[in-house]
């Protein structure tokens, strides 16, 4: 399949960083048995992957700005374009040897995401999207699922843990959603959760306490697959509010309503 020059740059960078992550992931199993665990090793793997991405992306587009989870914000001469990058989304999975993690690269142009790549190096699943040009998984065009009944829906979410997020609020939400849907999943990589929505594997997804690099590429995947993505108030402030809901038009609307009901429950 022929891609635009822009997507080629993003795909090349993702594949190069993926080779490094994949090599490091191969070491993880050996480290599980040590008392110290693979923590420091994983942080180094994460940083290495981001360095590769920054180098590749800025070599191809020297003026663009860059925001990476590990290295923070780097201003570019071109104030209209910014790469938004998570070199390793799903760190806990990686750390535990669970092969569900991804590299996520979004390109923001004047406050809108215009291109996104999410790549799982282990399964070799490459999700790509460019604004107005559709969403593809390994060159197959994606559409969000057509299901319209909550009772049939597989719902993905994020779990707040270990000092992060409002546990009480989440318990109310999960209890209210759980009672109405076919199944709940928590896979642990937001970028892939959004890719799975685009692919129609998950029907709806919501999560709080996210950061822009968790969502930037993924939200475009969903929109280009015909889905809806908003913050939990139905607006477009996902990056500033840090929460997100995604799905087809009907289920997305229903999910927002159910979460509002949850807030009223005791």
> What residues line the site for ligand IPD (CB under 6 A)?
86, 88-91, 158, 188-190, 207, 209-210, 214
Residue at token pair 């928590």: 186
Instruction: Decide if residue 203 touches Ca ion (CB under 5 A).
Output: no
- Cα–Cα distance, 266 to 262 (Å, whole number): 8
- Cα–Cα distance, 87 to 72 (Å, whole number): 12
- Cα–Cα distance, 230 to 256 (Å, whole number): 10
Q: Which CB, 7 or 190, lies closer to ligand IPD? A: 190
Q: What is the nearest approach in angstroms of ligand IPD to the Cβ of residue 93?
A: 8
SS3 44: helix
Q: Which CB, 210 or 262, lies closer to Ca ion? A: 210
Q: Which CB, 65 or 158, lies closer to ligand IPD? A: 158
The binder of Ca ion chosen from 24, 50, 56, 86 (CB under 5 A): 86
Q: What is the nearest approach in angstroms of Ca ion to the Cβ of residue 149?
A: 31
Instruction: Decide if residue 21 touches Ca ion (CB under 5 A).
Output: no
By Cβ distance, which residue is nearest to Ca ion? 89
Contacted entry of Ca ion, ligand IPD, none for residue 212, CB cut-off 5 to 8 Å set by kind: none
> Which alpha helices (DSSP H) does the chain contain, by range?
5-32, 39-60, 91-95, 167-178, 190-198, 212-224, 238-241, 249-264
Instruction: Decide if residue 214 touches Ca ion (CB under 5 A).
Output: yes
Instruction: Decide if residue 89 touches Ca ion (CB under 5 A).
Output: yes
- Cα–Cα distance, 96 to 189 (Å, whole number): 13
DSSP 246: E
Residues making contact with Ca ion (CB under 5 A): 69, 86, 88-89, 214
């Amino acid at each position: 399949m022929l891609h635009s020059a822009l997507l080629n740059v993003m795909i090349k960078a993702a594949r190069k960083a993926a080779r490094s992550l994949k090599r490091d992931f191969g070491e993880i199993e050996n480290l599980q048995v040590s008392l110290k665990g693979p923590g420091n090793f994983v942080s180094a793997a994460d940083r290495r992957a981001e360095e590769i991405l920054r180098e590749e992306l800025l070599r191809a587009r020297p003026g663009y700005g860059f925001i990476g989870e590990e290295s923070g914000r780097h201003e570019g001469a071109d104030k209209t374009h910014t790469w938004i990058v998570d070199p390793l989304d799903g760190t806990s999975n990686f750390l535990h040897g669970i092969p569900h993690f991804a590299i996520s690269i979004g390109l923001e142009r004047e406050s809108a995401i215009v291109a996104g790549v999410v790549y799982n190096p282990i399964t070799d699943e490459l999700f790509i999207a460019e604004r107005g040009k559709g969403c593809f998984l390994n060159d197959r065009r994606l559409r969000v699922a057509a299901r319209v009944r909550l009772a049939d829906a597989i719902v993905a979410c994020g779990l707040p843990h270990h000092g992060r997020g409002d546990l009480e609020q989440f318990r109310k939400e999960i209890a209210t959603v759980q009672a109405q849907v076919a199944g709940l999943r928590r896979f642990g990589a937001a970028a892939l959760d959004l890719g799975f929505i685009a692919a129609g594997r998950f029907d709806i997804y919501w999560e709080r306490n996210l950061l822009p690099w968790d969502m930037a590429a993924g939200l475009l995947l969903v929109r280009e697959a015909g889905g809806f993505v908003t913050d939990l108030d139905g607006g477009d402030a996902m990056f500033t509010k840090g929460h997100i809901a995604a799905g087809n038009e009907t289920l997305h609307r229903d999910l927002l309503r159910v979460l509002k009901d949850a807030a009223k429950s005791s």
